[in-house]
Structure 1
Amino acid sequence: MVNPEVPESDSDVAARVTVEIRLRAVTEVNDGAPVGEVAERYGVTRQTVTAWRKRYEAGGLEALADQSRRPHSSPGRISPDVEALICEMRRHHRRWGARRIAYELKLEIGKQAPSRSTTHRVLVRNGLVNSQEQQHKRVYKRWAREAPMHLWQLDIVGGVFLVNGREHKMLTAIDDHSRFVVAAAVLPVPSGPAVCDAFLAAIARWGAPFEVLTDNGKQFTGKFTRPLPAEVLFERICRDNGITARLTKRRSPTTTGKVERFHKTLRRELLDETGAFESIEAAQAAIDEWVHAYNTVRPHQSLDMATPASLFRSRVTDPELHPPDLGHRRQIFGVLIR
């Protein structure tokens, strides 16, 4: 029952109007009655009467019946075959998210591939998204240098285990612009000289970056050495080769977020899966192979699914590159070499 004190909308009125009444209104307009008068007489707008008239002219009496409001197509709906393929990819590659799966599907089936959001809904519908993935991640301000070789982020990370029970650490370095891994060297010991040997090897291979960013570890800086600050070997190498050495603020691990993110990926996709290695050489060989794929094959979400190698450009090694005389470093730097 219609409440006379509450005015009805055009949609409410139109829902009650029968095909015969709509036909009568159209007929009156076709016979010359003003559209405004007909609309007022039937309690609808001029636009509604005009729409009825167009529908009648296009499709006859049947076109005046109530039309379904369902869309003619549902962009978010996909075929059962594509949904099955999404689920298969997720089960086979447990660490691929919706964006990566949608990207791989586009390569495989082209225009039939669904969007990232549709892919995510399929994963949720099939119980293939865990609670951790659905949690809102803390958002940090992103930044990146405008070109490769402008800045390397360096860090020392553990987690490389041998069958004899020993754990070794690595020096890792990643180009800030391209995410290209320029160093992932397993260290015999995490000392200053070992770190610097790996750093020099990366410079010899790719050239010297303009800047490096590290934490405040003793291998990287003598700024906090007591009783007096002093230059350590890493800082000397940077100074002698025109590299600006920058330090993160204390207790701010997100400053070197790109290399930290690389560590998580390395652990998840290689170290946790492989387990202990027979030797340092075996560990280095496996890591080198994985890093090559990481740089050249694996698409990166932060790079709009490009590979790091597609964005990285090395610098020609400076022929005047002069590393310190490492054979005399202990005499030169004394107890500061660790």
Structure 2
Amino acid sequence: MSVVEQRYQAVLAVLAGDRVTEVAVRFGVSRQSVHSWLGRYAQAGLAGLQDRSHRPESCPHQASPEVEAAVCELRRAHPRWGARRIVFELGRAGCPDLPSRMSVYRILARHGLIEPVKRGRGRKDYRRWQRAAPMELWQMDIVGGVFLADGSEAKVVTGVDDHSRYCVIARVVRRATGRAVCEALAQGLVRFGVPQEMLTDNGKQFTDRFGKGGEVLFDRICRENGIVHRLTQPASPTTTGKVERFHQTLRRELLDDAGVFPDLETAQAAVDSFRDQYNTRRPHQALDMAFPADRFTAGKEGEGQRLLPVRLPSGFTTAVEEPHQPPAVTPVDLTPITLAPIVPTPERQGWAGDAVEFDRVVPPSGNMQVSGKQFWLGPHRSGVTVTFWADTDVIHLMITGTRLKSVRSHLSVNDLAALHRAGGRPAGPPPLPPAPVGQVAGPVEVDRTVGTSGCVSLGQHLVLAAEILAGRRVGVRVDTHTLAFFDLKTRELLRTRPNPLTPAETARLRSARPAGLPPQPSTDPVRVQRRASNSGGVMVAGQKIALGRIHARKTVTIDVTDTELAIHCDDGTRTIRRTTDQPITQIKAQRPRKVDLNV
């Protein structure tokens, strides 16, 4: 019997004279349930015994539609803002009925503006390591990614106060030499005073720890000013985690979007503007949404940072700036915001739903993103304008009218409409005409994942690619007589095999697209890692190399070419002649096996 029929039998039993307690025991329910069934049957008959929804009619603590719309608009305007930052900005603007952080998170997840992730450990499970007061410890490091118009890449010497996260050093240099790093340090010491300690990694600009054991210029400046210079353990970037986190913010909010700078002075001006915003107008989550300038008290009387003058080597006094003046904090407009319903932007006229064209500038990383998909063009094309020709079937990438490559489209009609509203234009004829039905016009490309045995499936043929490519997503260029396996990002040629497919089978390949430029073999060396044995030896491509017991159980990086092996050790780089022609089958170093002491 169904659930309704069982309830009906219980009601009939009570109406026939049975006691409610006995009926409840017979059907395995409580007495209250039986009384409820009797009342519902008396009101609505048999229909009243059906299941009812327990959903409440209202939710008094749910965010209003106006607040929900404001949260979504803030996220769309600032895609990098999380739930805590959005709550902070809403409260800063005087939003009534301020939602909680989890409410904002659920709003963003419900509207598809973030990807829900599995909850990890809470913040209370972590113990934050930081100094108790400012000027106790500075963290210094070097970061790249500043591309100039002459084709070179500049570096930024950075320094962050450990307690306040205040950026005390941010100087753009053409080459991160020891003297350039020391000049940046000298600027920070003159502007803010002398900290008690300095924490850096083991770069040669900071120390000669793994060299001859001498004193570099950086150590001399620290010693003469009474600064305790502390070094991290090798291969442990988390020790200087605060300055590394500042590097991530610098890349995301400035360098990735800035493109190419015309000269060094322009880059320095942009970094100075970002540093002022970071210190005074950007809330920091690790500081409970406070500004770093609020916790940095350098230069105040009685703090003791300037009891002695800064001692610098000759030639540094003319390169530093004037003593630091506290920056003027721009007042924040706290006028209560008016939350109105969001009116959709009307669609631009002149588009009939066909293909669209739009332009994008290649960022310094060389990795562009369009509607959730990445297009790799390489850092050597940073700053170049790329024209996209896109429809729902194929996407063509062109530079100055020349087709660079073509890929299978992931865009829907709604995606094309959004691209058109964002500045796109109706597209002209495709740069590569589509092939007739059932035929293949020239070579095609497909994407396949290499199996565990090193093979891929093409048109019911199992083709061997290479065992070293097992589990890797690769592209396959299908020509008349050959198959070319290449890397999807760099288009580097990996392997070539004879083509077993007939023209009819090639025309029926799944997810085939017109082929782009032929992949080229890489001229760069293959970089591998090896862990030295107890005697200081490693094995690369069947060739034994003795590094010495000083490198025992250490992981080294080796660049392998057809004729040479360049070994990068802590004491420098060694280059030896390669004596074997065996292929590289292992890239990463094997982890040491655990020894069972109970055996």
Structure 1, unmatched stretches of 5+, are 20-67, 328-338
Q: 1:157·1:171 contact (CA, 8 Å) conserved in 2?
A: yes
Whether 1:153 aligns to 2:139 is yes
Whose helix proportion is higher, 1 or 2? 1
Cα pair distance change 1:69/1:209, threshold 3 Å? same
Specify the SS of the correspondent of 1:12: helix
Cα pair distance change 1:10/1:102, threshold 3 Å? farther
Task: Among all aligned residue pairs of Structure 1 and Structure 2, give the percentage whose two residues are the same amino acid.
Answer: 50
Specify the SS of the correspondent of 2:154: strand
Q: 1:203·1:317 contact (CA, 8 Å) conserved in 2?
A: no
Residue 71 of structure 1: CA displacement? Answer: 8.5
Q: 1:148·1:313 contact (CA, 8 Å) conserved in 2?
A: yes
Whose strand proportion is higher, 1 or 2? 2
Alignment of 1:44-55 (within 5 A): none
Whether 1:255 aligns to 2:239 is yes
Q: What whole-Å deviation, never above 9, does each CA across 1:180-212 have from its counterpart, x for those lacking one?
A: 000010113211111001101100000011111
Following the alignment from structure 2 to structure 1, what is the Cα–Cα distance between the partners of residues 107 and 76?
13
AA matched with 1:260: E
AA matched with 2:191: R
AA matched with 1:323: L
Whether 1:307 aligns to 2:291 is yes
Structure 2, unmatched stretches of 5+, are 1-5, 11-23, 41-53, 300-304, 317-599
Residue 82 of structure 1: CA displacement? Answer: 1.1
Q: 1:207·1:318 contact (CA, 8 Å) conserved in 2?
A: no
Residue 78 of structure 1: CA displacement? Answer: 1.2
Residue 309 of structure 1: CA displacement? Answer: 0.2
Q: What whole-Å deviation, never above 9, does each CA across 1:153-178 have from its counterpart, x for those lacking one?
A: 10011111111111011110000110
Which residue of the other structure, out of 56, 79, 91, is the alignment partner of 1:106?
91
Match of 2:559? none
Whether 1:324 aligns to 2:299 is no
Match of 2:195? 209
Q: 2:189·2:310 contact (CA, 8 Å) conserved in 1?
A: no
Residue 282 of structure 1: CA displacement? Answer: 0.6
Following the alignment from structure 2 to structure 1, what is the Cα–Cα distance between the partners of residues 196 and 162?
11
TM-score norm. by structure 1 comes to 0.75
Measured on the aligned residues, the alpha-carbon RMSD in Å equals: 2.6
Q: 1:106·1:112 contact (CA, 8 Å) conserved in 2?
A: no
Residue 326 of structure 1: CA displacement? Answer: 4.7
Specify the SS of the correspondent of 2:171: strand
Q: 2:153·2:174 contact (CA, 8 Å) conserved in 1?
A: no
Alignment of 1:79-158 (within 5 A): 79-130=64-115, 134=117, 142-158=128-144
Q: 1:163·1:277 contact (CA, 8 Å) conserved in 2?
A: yes
Cα pair distance change 1:198/1:123, threshold 3 Å? same
Match of 1:40? none
Cα pair distance change 1:233/1:6, threshold 3 Å? farther
Q: What whole-Å deviation, never above 9, does each CA across 1:116-165 have from its counterpart, x for those lacking one?
A: 101011111111014xx736679975311111111111001111111111
Specify the SS of the correspondent of 1:124: helix
Cα pair distance change 1:142/1:8, threshold 3 Å? same
Specify the SS of the correspondent of 2:150: coil
Cα pair distance change 1:156/1:119, threshold 3 Å? same
Residue 258 of structure 1: CA displacement? Answer: 0.8
Following the alignment from structure 1 to structure 2, what is the Cα–Cα distance between the partners of residues 232 and 160?
26
Cα pair distance change 1:184/1:10, threshold 3 Å? farther
Which residue of the other structure, out of 206, 216, 227, is the alignment partner of 1:232?
216
Residue 325 of structure 1: CA displacement? Answer: 3.1
Aligned pair count? Answer: 276
Following the alignment from structure 1 to structure 2, what is the Cα–Cα distance between the partners of residues 302 and 116?
15
Match of 2:269? 285
Q: 1:221·1:232 contact (CA, 8 Å) conserved in 2?
A: yes
Following the alignment from structure 1 to structure 2, what is the Cα–Cα distance between the partners of residues 192 and 6?
85
Cα pair distance change 1:143/1:93, threshold 3 Å? same
Residue 303 of structure 1: CA displacement? Answer: 0.7
Cα pair distance change 1:151/1:121, threshold 3 Å? same
Specify the SS of the correspondent of 1:134: coil
